Amino acid sequence: MRMWMISPKYLCRQHLLGEHNEIHMLLGCLEKGKSVSGYIEKGLVELHNIRVRHDSIVEEMIKRGYRHHTPIYSTPHPETLSVGKVDLIQSAQELMNRCSGCCLRIESDANLIIGMQLYDYIDGVIQGSVTN
């Protein structure tokens, strides 16, 4: 289970729908009282952002014409209690290494900004992606 946390517009179809699925799995684990500490320790999930992240992914899914039937109204984990931290730059870089589809989406945008290091660019992308 993994929350990529970078702006959903940079996720290819597979990774967008994949992260959506994994958020519901994560929520399922919490509701059943299963431990997710391994995922937290590895920096793969942010428990306080489950609903917010889910909703921003769904917004992008709808924009692309995908269907969504699994709203999240509440989570067992209080949203005011910060647990887990995903390193967004690492996350973006790993996704770019792993997936040519996501890489293209990020790069095609990065090419618009000439003279900017990709690292700084990703940082900028991420600033805009944190929704509240």
Residues that bind Zn ion (CB under 5 A): 12, 15, 70, 99, 101-102
- CA distances in angstroms from 5 to 38, 60, 70, 129, listed in the order given: 18, 13, 19, 8
Q: Output the smallest distance, CB 30 to Zn ion, in A.
A: 15
Between 8 and 84, name the residue whose CB sits nearer to Zn ion: 8
Q: Output the smallest distance, CB 97 to Zn ion, in A.
A: 11
Between 102 and 110, name the residue whose CB sits nearer to Zn ion: 102
Between 15 and 53, name the residue whose CB sits nearer to Zn ion: 15
C-alpha to C-alpha distance for 101 and 13, rounded to whole angstroms: 8
Contact 60, 43 (CB under 8 A): no
